[in-house]
């Protein structure tokens, strides 16, 4: 039996957002630690450099960087921008995919419901509702099930 679930697909829809956010946070921490170790920056200077590097603001360096520090910045830019893009894409996908799925699903369901004539409405899909649906299906009679419990459907 076809069902309509207003909550989207099964599974964890937030996994990519959580993963991207955690990796981005780890990159900020590791970037700050890297600046403190390589360039001997204070924690605030290191965090500041990490944030302007990842965000590509480009305010300039707190202090001149050593060659190793410049290589570190290059790696931090690539990793940081990749993670920002990944996380932003996951957030956008979560929002737009969910909204699009709801819109398309509702329209499809409405079209299907608009086309129904002379059909039965079964309220609930417990033991009795299931038996009634089986009987209606065997007789080829159109019916719609209304239930609050998606697991029943």
Residue extents of the structural domains in the chain:
15-113, 116-153
pLDDT digits (tens, 9 = 90+) for 3-46: 555 444 444 667 888 999 999 999 999 999 999 999 999 999 99
Q: What is the DSSP string of 99-142?
A: HHHHHHHHHHHHHHHHT--S-EEEE--SHHHHHHHHHHHHTT--
Would you state the pLDDT for residue 9?
Answer: 44
15-113 is classed in which CATH architecture? Orthogonal Bundle (1.10)
Would you state the pLDDT for residue 10?
Answer: 41
């Amino acid at each position: 039996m076809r069902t309509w679930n207003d909550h989207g697909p099964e599974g964890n829809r937030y996994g990519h957002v959580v993963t991207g956010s955690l990796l981005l946070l780890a990159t900020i921490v590791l970037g700050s630690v890297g600046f403190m170790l390589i360039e001997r920056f204070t924690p605030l200077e290191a965090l500041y450099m990490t944030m302007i590097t990842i965000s590509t603001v480009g305010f300039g360096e707190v202090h001149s960087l050593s060659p190793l520090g410049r290589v570190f910045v290059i790696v931090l830019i690539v990793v940081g921008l990749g993670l920002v893009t990944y996380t932003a894409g996951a957030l956008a996908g979560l929002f737009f995919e969910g909204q699009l799925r709801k819109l398309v699903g509702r329209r499809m369901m409405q079209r299907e419901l608009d086309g129904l004539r002379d059909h039965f409405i079964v309220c609930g899909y417990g033991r009795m509702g299931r038996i009634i649906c089986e009987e209606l299906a065997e007789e080829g009679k159109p019916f719609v099930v209304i239930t609050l419990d998606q697991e029943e459907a």
